[in-house]
Amino acid sequence: MNQKNYILSIALLAALSAASCKSKIKIKEDELYSRHLQRHVKLGIVSTPMPGEKEKMNLLILNDGQEMGAFRVKDILDSLYKKGAIQPLLIVGIQAGDRVREFGVEGRPDFQKRGDKAGNYAAFIDNELYPFIKKKAGLRKFNSIAIAGCSLGGLSAFDIAWNHAAKIDKVGVFSGSFWWRDKDISDLGYSDSLNRVMISEIRSSRKRPKTDFWFYAGGNEETSDRDKDGITDVVDDTKDLITAIKKKNIPGATSLVYVEDATGKHDYTAWSKQLPAFLIWAFGK
């Protein structure tokens, strides 16, 4: 090989190497102190490279950030990005504290007084986390913002999206705990219509947020079937919530997706199988 060809080959390899580095998904950890939660909150951050036009970066806030490994967030984002299937995306996973107190429906604890700090958690995201992420990313605003969660974290994500639609455009709920109730089902006065907190909240609310919704439920998550209709409660509860949303006739809400897997269990193996479809729905090109 002559010197000219050798130099060209080295330059080509260097260019390919630089391109490869630029395409890599970045992972890091961070932390901030929350006055709303009175604790240090650890964050897991996974992101595609920052685009040349920074305002094209999108944000996904993820509940239960301590489970990002089980959720396969990095691997799935890496695969979608390499395929060119997804827009630039920053995912921030919030590691849970006392999740049975911080997750729930703002202002409406369940019958065991769980979820009493749901309002504090929502305030943390709205007033502390969002400004913190913007500053760290060097952005004035994101192209779009979504929040997502699984199980109780899904209930929390939906509640926050519904009540803070000015900042959150989309929400993803994986097997949301929409059974969350303010009266025990063993009580004689219990009613599915009145005592499932989030569903009751939507039915009575005057809010009509222009939010896009994505839901998943598995048919093999549980055996509980309150109304004895042969359909597990997680599926029934999710469908009842969707019906309540549709009855609001929300103007400007362009998308409401429901995905059901008859064999899906209540675990991260099942949820991670659905994550690519959610990410493409929320941030696909």
Strand 89-94 and strand 145-150: pairing? unpaired
Quote the crossing angle between the two packed helices 73-82 and 268-283, to the nearest 10°: 40
Residue 73 scores a pLDDT above 80: yes
Q: How far apart are CA 162 and CA 256, in angstroms?
A: 14
Could you give the CA distance from residue 261 to residue 163 in angstroms, rounded to a whole number? 29
Return the SS3 of 145.
strand
Assigned token pair, 92: 């921030």
pLDDT tens per residue across span 218-238: 999 988 867 777 778 899 999
Q: What is the pLDDT of residues 15-47, one digit of tens each?
A: 434 444 445 899 999 999 999 999 999 999 999
Pairing of strands 39-47, 89-94: antiparallel
Q: What is the pLDDT of residue 13?
A: 42
- Please provide residue 161's backbone torsions phi and psi, each rounded to the nearest 5 degrees: -65, -40
pLDDT of residue 228: 72
Task: Provide φ and ψ at 7, rounded to 5°.
Answer: -65, -40
Given a cut of 60, whether residue 98 has pLDDT beyond it is yes
Q: Domains of the chain (ranges plus CATH)?
A: 23-283 (3.40.50.1820)
Of the listed ranges 123-127, 132-136, 205-209, 226-230, the least confidently predicted one is 226-230
pLDDT tens digits, 179-209: 999 999 989 889 888 999 999 999 988 878 8
Q: Average pLDDT for residues 122-146, to the nearest whole number?
A: 96
Q: What is the DSSP string of 183-234?
A: S-TTSTT--HHHHBHHHHHHHH-------EEEEEEETTS----TT-SSS-HH
Q: Span 93-120, mean pLDDT?
A: 96
- Residue 224 burial by CB count (10 A; 0-12/13-18/19+): exposed, middle or buried? exposed
Q: What's the whole-number mean pLDDT along residues 269-282?
A: 98
Q: Are 18 and 33 in contact (CB under 8 A)?
A: no
- Can you give the pLDDT at residue 15? 42
Strand partners, 112: none
Residues 65, 149: contact at Cβ < 8 Å? no
